[in-house]
Amino acid sequence: MASGSKSSIKWAISGNILVMFSKLFAFVLTGSGSMLAEGIHSLADVLNQSLLYLGISRAERAPDELQSRGYGREQYVWSLISAVGIFFLGCGVTFYHGVHMLWSGHEKHGSESHFWIAMSVLCFSLIVEGYVLWVALKEAKKQANGSLMSYLRDDPDPALVAVLLEDSAACLGIIFAFFGMALTHWTGLMIWDAIGTLLIALLLGVIAIWLVKLNSLFLVGKGLNPATLAEVNQVLAQQEYIEGVSHLNSESIGPGKYEIQLDLDFDEDALVKKVDIDLKVAYQELNNEEEFIEFCHHYGAESMRLVRSTIDDLEAEIRQKVKKIDFIDIEPN
């Protein structure tokens, strides 16, 4: 999963660097606020996607003495920082520039040829951003292994979701800039360019808030979705030695990885029947108190080994049937 997300982010960074310089060049030629907003948008995307890549790289570190469950959740920290960056650098700066344009009433400048160069840059940018979006969408469908909407709603990789949203916003922002510049060019009114700039700022703000909410949910400990919990309960229900589940808690430890804690009520009679000792025969072979005490110790140790092996087998079966679970802690009542 991480390798696919990293590949999508690499494509996004490369595409946005190329597009960013194209847009800023067009801004120098035309002075368009929408074009500057799009340049800032692409710059914000490059910086934020670099943070996402850093987060995935750090999250891939192996477990150690400090983090026995690994560093998977560190990815959410960097994704959260990235979302805050989108809000302040992308939305904030763009919104300020749009309001400034609206109130100052700057006149448009740039020749007819410069205008068409800028429009060509936007078309080129849309092609690049569209391709990057297609790459991210293909990876998301691969990870979803089913309904893409269910994946995005229930258990998404925040880094991949960020790339999807940022690239979708980039394509939509280019369309806003296109119409803002075109209307300003044909009417001579800068208000259209300012409105295009403000729409781009609003778009970035909505995406940033959504990503902050998503990453915060995982950082505070998002649990398994109901469908996956049902799979766990189905495995438990198939075990004849389990009378009930006193407690089931789950928590995300990284994208697509979960830890569950289970308190189970075991049926002692069902477990005892699995002890590989014929009590009647063994008892008849006892000759003295010392042999009886040794027999009790052996039977007790065998019972403990049975409980241990039963729990190990149950954990292995849960991992096999529920792929998202990496760590399991089972406590018998």
Instruction: Please write the tens of the pLDDT for every residue from 12-39.
Output: 899 889 989 988 888 888 777 777 877 8
What average pLDDT does range 92-103 have in this prediction? 82
Instruction: Please write the tens of the pLDDT for every residue from 245-271.
Output: 888 999 888 888 889 999 999 888 777
Fold category of 226-332 in CATH:
Alpha-Beta Plaits (3.30.70)
Tokens 């007819």, located at residue: 112
pLDDT of residue 261: 92
Instruction: Please write the tens of the pLDDT for every residue from 155-171.
Output: 778 888 888 888 888 88
CB 214 within 8 A of CB 205: no
Q: Say which residue, 102 or 248, is predicted with more confidence.
A: 248
**Identity of the residue numbered 169:** A
Nearest to 12 by CA among 131, 98, 115: 131
Structure-block tokens of residue 239: 């075990």
Q: Is the pLDDT of residue 109 over 70?
A: no
Structure-block tokens of residue 141: 């469908």
pLDDT of residue 281: 60
What average pLDDT does range 147-151 have in this prediction? 73
User: In Å, how far are 115, 245, 322 from 228, measured between CA atoms?
Assistant: 54, 16, 7
Q: Is the pLDDT of residue 81 over 70?
A: yes
Rounded to 5°, angle at Cα 36 from 134 and 131: 10
pLDDT of residue 275: 64
Say how many C-beta atoms besides its own lie within 10 A of residue 223's C-beta: 14
Say how many C-beta atoms besides its own lie within 10 A of residue 309's C-beta: 11
Nearest to 42 by CA among 111, 7, 83, 90: 90
Nearest to 162 by CA among 55, 14, 71: 55
Say how many C-beta atoms besides its own lie within 10 A of residue 11's C-beta: 21
Look at strands 325-332 and 257-266 and give their pairing: parallel
**Identity of the residue numbered 124:** F
Domain ranges across the chain: 2-219, 226-332
Fold category of 2-219 in CATH:
Alpha-lytic protease prodomain-like (1.20.1510)
Instruction: Please write the tens of the pLDDT for every residue from 177-209.
Output: 888 888 888 887 778 888 888 888 898 898 889
Say how many C-beta atoms besides its own lie within 10 A of residue 307's C-beta: 15
Residues 6+ apart with CB under 8 A from 250: 223, 224, 229, 258, 259, 260, 261
Give the separation between CA 65 and CA 79, rounded to whole angstroms.
25
- % pLDDT > 90, the chain: 6
**How much is the mean pLDDT over the chain?**
82
CB 295 within 8 A of CB 270: no
Dihedral class, residue 283 (left if φ above 0, else alpha if ψ from -120 to 50, else beta): alpha
- % pLDDT > 70, the chain: 91
Say how many C-beta atoms besides its own lie within 10 A of residue 134's C-beta: 12
> Looking at residue 62, what DSSP letter applies?
P
Q: Is the pLDDT of residue 108 over 60?
A: no
pLDDT of residue 127: 92
Instruction: Please write the tens of the pLDDT for every residue from 35-57.
Output: 787 788 788 888 888 988 898 88
Structure-block tokens of residue 97: 């520039």
Adjacent-strand bridge partners of 258: 252, 325
pLDDT classification of 276: cutoffs 50, 70, 90: low
What average pLDDT does range 281-308 have in this prediction? 74
Task: Name the H helices within the chain.
Answer: 2-30, 33-59, 74-85, 93-104, 112-144, 148-154, 158-187, 191-219, 226-237, 268-272, 279-284, 289-321
pLDDT classification of 106: cutoffs 50, 70, 90: low
Q: Is the pLDDT of residue 278 over 80?
A: no
How many angstroms from the chain centroid is the CA of residue 251?
A: 14
Tokens 């999963």, located at residue: 1
User: In Å, how far are 61, 68, 248, 255, 260 from 221, measured between CA atoms?
Assistant: 20, 16, 14, 12, 12
pLDDT of residue 280: 58
